Structure 1
Amino acid sequence: MLELSFDSVAEPLLGPKWQSLYKAYWPAYKKWYESNGADKKPSLGIAKNRLQRYMPEMMPTYERMCELAGDDNTAHRFLTGWQPPAYISGCSQAVFTDSPTLVRNYDYHPHLIEGTLLHSSWNGKQVMAVSDCLMGVLDGMNSDGLVVSLTFGGRRNVGRGFGIPFVLRYILEFCSNVAEAVEVLKTVPVHMAYNIMLLDKTGAHSMIMITPQQQPRVTDMRACANHQGELRWPDTKRFPNSLERERFLNELLSRPGLTEWEMADNFLRVPLFNTRYKRGAGTIYTAVYRPAEGYMQLRWPDKTITQSFAYFEEASTPIFIYAPDLEEELKSK
């Protein structure tokens, strides 16, 4: 069994707690950010210009993060979110509209996740989100009742744009409903293909297919996995059951009398629950968001973390993941 730690952290405004997270994770992020050559990254001037152009409301937050990060040009470029390395994760997600609920599995390598659920209020709205890239989010919800979540879209081409976790952070900081979030995704360029699920407290929902250098496709799909239409990536070994997962979710959503909690329970079972950890596609957690009530859960087969805007408890929660493929790899080293 692999042991991970999921930390629930509350800090309304950027301060020492975020700075501690930065100090803990920046060395690994720096190595990743420079993985294809530091000289190939955009200059700080260009990166800041793009942030100012597309997400100007984030500039005060960005500048405060740079203060906390210290005098580090590379960190300042990274924190703009502009043109990061390729970012590929698995994941399945679905929305239940009768009683607005978004459920998703985040599938990735267990050694490459921050493991932080951050409750903040950087720009007026409260936000609870699973943190990524120090500024960005993998999934989350704000106090206006808007939920966002990402999955990889299955296309490996890389274009000019922002890393999607940074854009989702921007949406949670400044949007109040699905319609506003859709407009952001239509105007802010994203550097890779992703499927973005949106839900708000009214039950309004949308699934946006993003592909670099193309107009986003806005759909009313209630479930998605790791493809957009047909599987186009020649090497589908990493996500071989994307079609099966999406088909299973659609069949699940069509069952008469299905409740949101029955739907959520299915995310902890095959085919939605994945154990391909060595390939970077094992299920790290299941998230359940209830925007009308303002609370959420992080779930595992033997454990659940429940948090809300009204009552958020800071804690460090040990999580045990059964990953025999990774354990064998570690034993052989």
Structure 2
Amino acid sequence: MKQVVSDIVQFRGSHYEFGIHQAKLLQHSPILTARKRQWDKRTSRHFIVNEGKIKAIFEHFSPEIWEELMGLADGFDMSIKEAIREFGGYYFEYGKSGCSILMGNDYMIRNYDNDPITYEGRYVLYAPRDGGYATLGPSMQITGRTDGLNEKGLAVGYNFVNRLRSDDGFVCNMIGRLVLEKCATVDEAIKLLEEIPHRHSFTYSLVDITGRNVVVEASATEVLVRDGTVCTNHFENLTKENRFRMDDSLRRYHEIEKQQSTIGNMYDAYKVLNDTDKGVFSKKYGAWAGTIHTAAYTPINLHAWIALGGDRKPFIIDFNKWLNGINLNVKQIKGELEATNGFINR
């Protein structure tokens, strides 16, 4: 078993100040060094950063997050082009992964599946004072989120489908962040997902405080919305975008479907995804498909659950209390994985 730790980051202030703050936190962290080792040099050379184009896109969708990138650039004493490449969420080669989502009228449960060596181990609570909603969730590429919840009770999670036929556009983690900061409802999130440029093919699962839940299928060329409470790693409508091998995605989908009748409450739903004997939790860490965290979000009372590894009780965060100025009194979330590698934050 590998012991793992996710560091809790809490901040209230402007996006630029948040960028500076994160740079200070990361100065002596192994996260950026480890990520640079993972980049394939031949691939990264193809990421020609058009600063003017990307700035214009950020200024349209979120000038505040552009300010966060400026803060990171200044905090690290790097050029804005370097900051865009490292943190911009516009260019990023996303490896194949699993992931499963189960939604009800008042919750979203999500397994994030990947290789631990890609996982930053940062759980971020951020309340901006210069625009945008307060959010919480695990970070990816520093500025992005793997999933999360905002102060208006909108929760989002995404599942990888395909990276073929990609185009210029935002990647999943930045899209998740933009949805959380800019949208209060499922309808607003759908509108943003229809407008924003998508680099890869992903599904985005959404639930809001009204109890509405949908799955948005998004590729570089098309975006469609469907009703549904279960989502794994394939499209049901944009089927031409699916990978050739969908066996495990379909298997997890049907495992969740057949257990839905046994669910009486949110904790039952959580156990369907987190218990290692239910057929959904994965230990395939070496194949980029092991379950790293199980997250749960309740829009009505603004609670967030997180567990690192399987068969674990969740760490519960009362986001309402945090929004009212009461900081979490813990600095880390601890867990264990049946994996060879740990997170890149240690």
Q: TM (normalized to structure 1)?
A: 0.87
Residue 325 of structure 2 corresponds to which residue in structure 1?
A: none
For 2:190, what is the secondary structure of its paired residue?
Answer: helix
Preserved contact between residue 105 and residue 286 of structure 1 (Cα < 8 Å): yes
2: CA distance between counterparts of 1:15 and 1:63? 7
Task: Give a deviation string over 1:267-313, Cα, whole Å, max 9, x none.
Answer: 12331100101111001011010111011111242342111221433
Q: Structure 1 residue 164: deviation in Å?
A: 1.4
Runs ≥4 in structure 1, deviation > 6 angstroms? none
The amino acid across from 1:111 in the alignment is: I
2: CA distance between counterparts of 1:257 and 1:33? 42
1:25-44 matched pairs, under 5 angstroms: 25-33=31-39, 35-43=41-49, 44=51
Residue 330 of structure 1 corresponds to which residue in structure 2?
A: none
Q: 2:312 aligns with which of 281, 302, 306?
A: 302
% identical equivalent positions: 23
For 1:121, what is the secondary structure of its paired residue?
Answer: strand
Inter-CA distance 39–280: structure 2 relative to 1 (3 Å threshold): closer
Which segments of 5 or more consecutive residues in structure 2 lack a partner in the other structure? 323-327, 342-346
Number of residue equivalences: 318
Q: 1:285 aligns with which of 256, 272, 293?
A: 293
1: CA distance between counterparts of 2:304 and 2:247? 29
Preserved contact between residue 107 and residue 283 of structure 1 (Cα < 8 Å): yes
Q: Structure 1 residue 57: deviation in Å?
A: 4.7
Residue 23 of structure 2 corresponds to which residue in structure 1?
A: 19
Tell me whether 163-172 or 56-65 shows the greater mean CA deviation.
56-65
2: CA distance between counterparts of 1:60 and 1:92? 33
The amino acid across from 2:152 in the alignment is: D
Preserved contact between residue 92 and residue 105 of structure 1 (Cα < 8 Å): yes
Preserved contact between residue 161 and residue 242 of structure 2 (Cα < 8 Å): no
2: CA distance between counterparts of 1:169 and 1:232? 25
Query: Is residue 222 of structure 1 aligned with residue 229 of structure 2?
Result: yes
2: CA distance between counterparts of 1:45 and 1:9? 31
For 2:59, what is the secondary structure of its paired residue?
Answer: helix
Residue 202 of structure 1 corresponds to which residue in structure 2?
A: 210
Residue 178 of structure 1 corresponds to which residue in structure 2?
A: 186
2: CA distance between counterparts of 1:65 and 1:281? 31
Inter-CA distance 18–208: structure 2 relative to 1 (3 Å threshold): same
Inter-CA distance 128–112: structure 2 relative to 1 (3 Å threshold): same
Q: Structure 1 residue 69: deviation in Å?
A: 2.9
The amino acid across from 2:10 in the alignment is: A
Which segments of 5 or more consecutive residues in structure 1 lack a partner in the other structure? 328-333
2: CA distance between counterparts of 1:101 and 1:76? 34
The alignment yields a C-alpha RMSD, in angstroms, of 2.3
Preserved contact between residue 225 and residue 242 of structure 1 (Cα < 8 Å): yes
